[in-house]
Amino acid sequence: MTLAFIGHAESTGALRDVYDRMLARPLPPVYRPKHGGAPGIITAHSLDPELIPKVFGTSSTLNGAGPLAWHERELVNALTSRLNQCFY
C-alpha cells in the first residue's frame, strides 16, 4: 500500500453506502471477490467516495455491454494491464 485506502469492513457513512450500492449491482459471479466485500479496485478509490459511482458507472457501459464479446473485452483489459505493468 502506498496511499491509504479504506476496505469494506472498516468503512462507515457515505463510503459504506457507496460500497453497498456497488455490491448490489448485477455482476457476473466470477467478478465477485470471495471475501464478500467490495472488490479491491473499488476500495482503491475510497479516498473519494463520490467519485466511485462515476468511475464504475463508466465501467458498466463498457464491460457489461457490446459490441465486443466478453472474451474480447477480457483480452483488451488483460493486455492493457500487462502493458501498464499492473498486476493487481
Partner 1 sequence: MVHGAIAELGVHARDARQRALIELTVAVTVAPWTLSRAFRARANADGLTDDDLLHAIALSAYFGHLNRIADAVGVPLDYPVEIAAPHADPSRSPFEAAPEQLAADGALALDRRPTTRDALAAWQIYLAGKPGPLAPDERRAIAHRVARLAGDGTAEPTDALDADIRALVDLVALAPWRLDDVAYRPLRARGFDDVKLFDVCIAASTAGVTARIAVASRALAR
By CB under 8 A, name the binding residues for partner 1.
1-5, 33-35, 39-41, 43-45, 47-48, 50-51, 54-55, 57-63, 65-68, 72-73, 75-77, 79-88
| Closest CB 64 distance from partner 1, rounded Å | 10
**Contact indicator for 19, 38 with CB cutoff of 8 Å:** yes
**Contact indicator for 47, 4 with CB cutoff of 8 Å:** yes
Q: Which is nearer to partner 1, 24 or 85 (CB)?
A: 85
Q: Which is nearer to partner 1, 4 or 24 (CB)?
A: 4
DSSP 24-88: TS---GGGS-TTSS--HHHHTTTT-TTHHHHHHHHHHHHHS--SS-HHHHHHHHHHHHHHTT---
| Closest CB 20 distance from partner 1, rounded Å | 17
| Closest CB 6 distance from partner 1, rounded Å | 11
